[in-house]
Amino acid sequence: MELRRSFNEDEVNYDKYRPEYPAELFKDIISYSKIGSGSKLIEIGIGTGQATMPFIQLGCGITGIELGDKLSSFVADKYRAHNNFKVINADFMFCPIEENFYDLIYCATAFHWLPKEEAYIKIMKSLKRGGVLALFWNHPFPNRENDPSNMANRKIYNKFRPSNKKPVEFREKDCGIRIQELLQYGFEKVESKLYRRVRTLTTDAYIHLLNTYSDHLALDVNLKKQFEIEMRKAINEVGGNINIYDTIDLYLAKKP
């Protein structure tokens, strides 16, 4: 199975266990873009809509584009009461989109699945003059060396999925590549910002969360089963909860 299609396999689990985004992030997008009631938006890779409700409540007209048919059906039902929302089940790169029309196009933890150059070009064509592109990602980090729950997690990863690379928490300097990328493809007034938070999950919730990640879903069935048995045991031995240190990076840019 193509990895980016794996999220479509269990839409209910995805909706329940994937986190939403900080309220401050949406305030910053709205302040930068000056959108409001009646503004036209596209959300690329909407999933089950973890980044959608703040814009629905603002009164924007939102078109979500989602590759997965189950995810599309789920989010259509989730927001069925809102007449300013619709979803299209399609690959963004092959979906006909009106040019010079949209006030804001945004993508939450999904843009990396698209062919970069073609996606930037298509977005630029679709935005009206002065329209805004907002890209943001959540980077969960359960690998801090001063956190016993994180070290229990790392022990299981080292056993079942060893790597020569030491896990590194997302840093402000990591934003530079994306900023230069946006400038390279013709956007202007580029800004970035980081948001940080800590989530504490029960053992069960953490196992469910792992089952929303494409690399975990792609594991051999038997390996995946044993991995989860031992992860459950390791987290329970340190109290039955794990702390996840999230860094969310936001990029804002305008079409000239």
- Calculate mean pLDDT across residues 128-144: 98
User: Between 221-237 and 148-160, two packed helices, what is the crossing angle to 10 degrees?
Assistant: 160
Give the pLDDT band of residue 8 (cuts 50, 70, 90). Answer: low
First-residue to last-residue Cα distance in the chain? 39
- Calculate mean pLDDT across residues 185-210: 98
Q: What was the pLDDT predicted at 206?
A: 98
Name the residue type at position 204.
D
Q: What was the pLDDT predicted at 12?
A: 87
**Whether pLDDT at 1 is above 50:** no
Three-state SS for 179?
helix
pLDDT tens, residue by residue, 208-229: 999 999 899 889 999 999 999 9
